Amino acid sequence: MHNFEVIVIGCGHAGCEAAAAAANLGAKTLLIGLNLDSIAWMPCNPAVGGPAKSHLVKEIDALGGLMGLAADATYLQLKTLNSSRGAAVHALRAQSDKYAYSQWMRQALQTIPKLSFYQAMVTKILAKEDQVIGIETSLGEQIYARAIIITSGTFLEGKVFTGKQTQQAGRASEPAAIGLSASLKELGLSLGRLKTGTPARIDARSINFEQLDKHHGDKIPSFFSFLPNRPLLEQMPCYSTRTTALTHQIIKDNLMESPLYAGLIEGIGPRYCPSIEDKVVRFADKESHLFFLEPEGRSTNEIYLQGCSTSLPIHIQRQIVSSLPGLEKAHIVRPAYAVEYDFLRPIQFKHTLQSKNIKGLFAGGQLLGTSGYEEAAAQGLVAGINAAKYVLNQDEVVFKRSQSYIGTLIDDLVIKQITEPYRMLTSRSEYRLNLRQDNADRRMTPLGREIGLVNDYRWEVFEKKNQNFKTSLELLQKTRIKGNAHNNAILESFDQIPLKENISITLAELLSRPNLNFEIIDKFLPNEFDSPAPRFELETEIKYAGYVQRQEEQVQKLSGLENKLIPAHFDYIQLKHLSLEAREKLHKIKPQTLGQASKIDGVSPADISILLLSLNSNYNN
């Protein structure tokens, strides 16, 4: 086996982005996986995006990554979420064809000249004097490289649970990675144990869809990639049903059949994606829980039962499914299960995702304690960039919180104590008003070009779009309307107060009003913004300008409050504007200062702002 400069262990979403980034930056790279037929596989929900996650995908795309392009090429449905709310929380979500997605990613990776593939189980990291030098496989062969990126997902010492039946596996029907955890411990790294799960898959032919609520995608779809000419595909509907009193009773009667409640699972599961048995116990006051039925591909009848993750025995799973309206005769194709796995505590890594103690060792994805394909892909991209920079003796790249959701994600991971699977949320970013999905290319593409991942074509597309945006914005900022009969008639038609004869305002000032949109601009400048002007982005930029400025001022004030004391008797529970998670953790940990509180996992920057306001109002610290 030839020597390489970078070796990527694991071919999931983190591994794919890491391998592509490292190879595209000029490093001779090997992508090694347990099963090369499952590259970029979606073992849980075959979907990309959603709240905060779409921001990550668009940032990956703007930097020259692959996930956005793959999602655009293989969607079953595209839908913008939170469209009735502010632009900062708008989120694009794609229901993906899991088989087409995997195939697209493999084909894309195979076009990268400096990227090679190998199927094997890695059992050991070879190191010399706190510097990695290569890997060893289960076959005893040694492959050498200056940098190693581990993106092993849920496979490290993975154990799958269905009821009290267990097997060593990284996911259903795929072997666990055995031996690598021990090697990492020998290198002095600290590991923990986490848990995740997935619902049963249902045969669509056994479902009575007439009893279900139907959900369509957007008539005019948006896309993840900022490149033009995204493919227009026929969209498929999704459906929903709800649990019943019978569902809840079945679960309550069989709780001790769950390995989680029987004490067989050590690992901590994801707070924001609990199992159905956990939902019934934790939210006992709720009479019903919503499940979505989502297709897994165009070439399969399998339906993903979102919201019904469970590790109960299969005979109980069948009872649960048959208790749901529309699924009384449903046939389970693949049983649900939970998987428990080793993870590396991320505080052992730098912001570059290189180990603090082992030179040349990088990591990313679920191995670092996150949940979700998008979080994994973002980390893979960062690790791949910095591994390549490391072996090519170039400056490392650190993404800042103020710059991106990627920066927020990495900063949270390496600074805070991760005790449960981390999920990206808009509330985790104190800069979220500026870090919107619509402006991800303006924020990140220049950086991607500087790094070396943005090719000439993408850069040309970006420069044209960006110049058009600037020109259009300047036009709105410079064009003034005066108080005259014609202009006032237009204003009055939009329920606006007419302007006096000696008063004028710019179109940007007019558009900044909360109850107006681009429709009024078209009245004053007809046909000016037909195409290719980015109308929504212009409107959002103008409306958010004042808020962004104030937010930045607040963040600057917060930066000087590391030593602000919190009274020992402070009652967090009474602060109803804090998130439930923040109240629980602050009450339990009782931090002494605001700085300590801000480092607690699950306490968002928004929570800190609320806590600060309360402290200023009630105490003289």
Tell me the pLDDT band of 597, cut-offs 50, 70 and 90: confident
Average pLDDT over every residue of 569-581: 86
> Between 456-478 and 535-558, two packed helices, what is the crossing angle to 10 degrees?
90
Tell me the pLDDT band of 619, cut-offs 50, 70 and 90: low
Tokens 């930029």 sit on residue: 541
| Per-residue pLDDT reduced to its tens digit, 187-219 | 999 999 999 999 999 999 999 999 999 999 999
Q: What's phi and psi for 384, nearest 5 deg?
A: -65, -45
Tell me the pLDDT band of 555, cut-offs 50, 70 and 90: low
Average pLDDT over every residue of 545-568: 74
| 3-state secondary structure at position 515 | coil
Contact 29/7 with Cβ under 8 angstroms? yes
Tell me the pLDDT band of 390, cut-offs 50, 70 and 90: very high
Task: Give the number of other Cβ atoms within 10 Å of residue 91's Cβ.
Answer: 21
Q: Can you list the domains of the chain with their CATH numbers?
A: 201-339 (2.40.30.260), 456-545 (1.10.10.1800), 560-618 (1.10.150.570)
Q: Lowest mean pLDDT of 259-273, 337-351, 552-566, name the range.
A: 552-566
Average pLDDT over every residue of 244-256: 96
Average pLDDT over every residue of 117-142: 96
598: left (phi over 0), alpha (psi -120 to 50) or beta: alpha
Identity at 85, one-letter amino acid code = R
Q: Retrieve residue 50's tokens.
A: 């959603």
Q: What's phi and psi for 269, nearest 5 deg?
A: -90, 170
Q: What's phi and psi for 200, nearest 5 deg?
A: -70, 155
Task: Give the number of other Cβ atoms within 10 Å of residue 253's Cβ.
Answer: 11
No. of H helices and E strands in the chain? 19, 23
| Per-residue pLDDT reduced to its tens digit, 273-319 | 889 999 999 898 999 999 999 999 999 999 999 999 999 999 999 99
Tell me the pLDDT band of 531, cut-offs 50, 70 and 90: low
For residue 17, count CB atoms less than 10 angstroms from its CB and return exposed for 0-12, middle for 13-18, buried for 19 or more. Answer: buried
Contact 358/185 with Cβ under 8 angstroms? no
Does 132 or 403 have the greater pLDDT score?
132
Identity at 279, one-letter amino acid code = K
Residue 558 above 70 pLDDT? no
Residue 415 above 90 pLDDT? no
The alpha helices in 403-455, defined as continuous H runs, are 405-415, 440-451
At residue 87, the pLDDT reads: 84
Residue 333 above 70 pLDDT? yes
Q: Beta partners for 126?
A: 134
| Per-residue pLDDT reduced to its tens digit, 452-467 | 999 999 999 999 999 9
Q: Lowest mean pLDDT of 54-58, 177-181, 613-617, name the range.
A: 613-617
| Per-residue pLDDT reduced to its tens digit, 256-278 | 998 888 888 888 887 878 899 99
At residue 621, the pLDDT reads: 45
Q: Per this entry, what is the length of the chain?
A: 621
Residue 167 above 60 pLDDT? yes
Q: What is the dihedral of CA 202, 206, 208, 213, to 10 degrees?
A: 20
What span, in angstroms and rounded, lies between the C-alpha atoms of 365 and 379?
6
Q: Lowest mean pLDDT of 337-341, 391-395, 433-437, 617-621, name the range.
A: 617-621
Contact 454/64 with Cβ under 8 angstroms? yes
| Per-residue pLDDT reduced to its tens digit, 26-35 | 999 999 999 9
**Measured at the alpha carbon of residue 436, what is the angle toward residues 68 and 219, in degrees to the nearest 5?**
60
What span, in angstroms and rounded, lies between the C-alpha atoms of 558 and 536?
31
Average pLDDT over every residue of 477-496: 93
pTM of the model: 0.89
Q: pLDDT over 90 for what percent of the chain?
A: 74
| Per-residue pLDDT reduced to its tens digit, 75-85 | 999 999 998 88
What span, in angstroms and rounded, lies between the C-alpha atoms of 54 and 97?
17
| Per-residue pLDDT reduced to its tens digit, 215-242 | 999 999 999 999 999 999 999 999 999 9
What span, in angstroms and rounded, lies between the C-alpha atoms of 5 and 27?
6
Tokens 């009872």 sit on residue: 319
Average pLDDT over every residue of 368-381: 96
| 3-state secondary structure at position 345 | coil
Q: For 397, how many CA atoms within 13 A lie in the half-sphere containing its CB?
A: 26
At residue 36, the pLDDT reads: 95
Q: Retrieve residue 219's tokens.
A: 């008539």
Q: Lowest mean pLDDT of 299-313, 322-336, 468-482, 595-609, name the range.
A: 595-609
Contact 454/63 with Cβ under 8 angstroms? yes
Q: Lowest mean pLDDT of 6-10, 450-454, 540-544, name the range.
A: 540-544
Does 611 or 561 have the greater pLDDT score?
611
What is the DSSP code string of 488-502? HHHHHHTT-PPPPTT
Which of 437-446, 548-557, 597-606: highest mean pLDDT? 437-446
Nearest to 355 by CA among 184, 160, 166: 184
| 3-state secondary structure at position 341 | strand
Identity at 539, one-letter amino acid code = E
At residue 466, the pLDDT reads: 94
If you average pLDDT over every residue of the chain, what do you get? 92
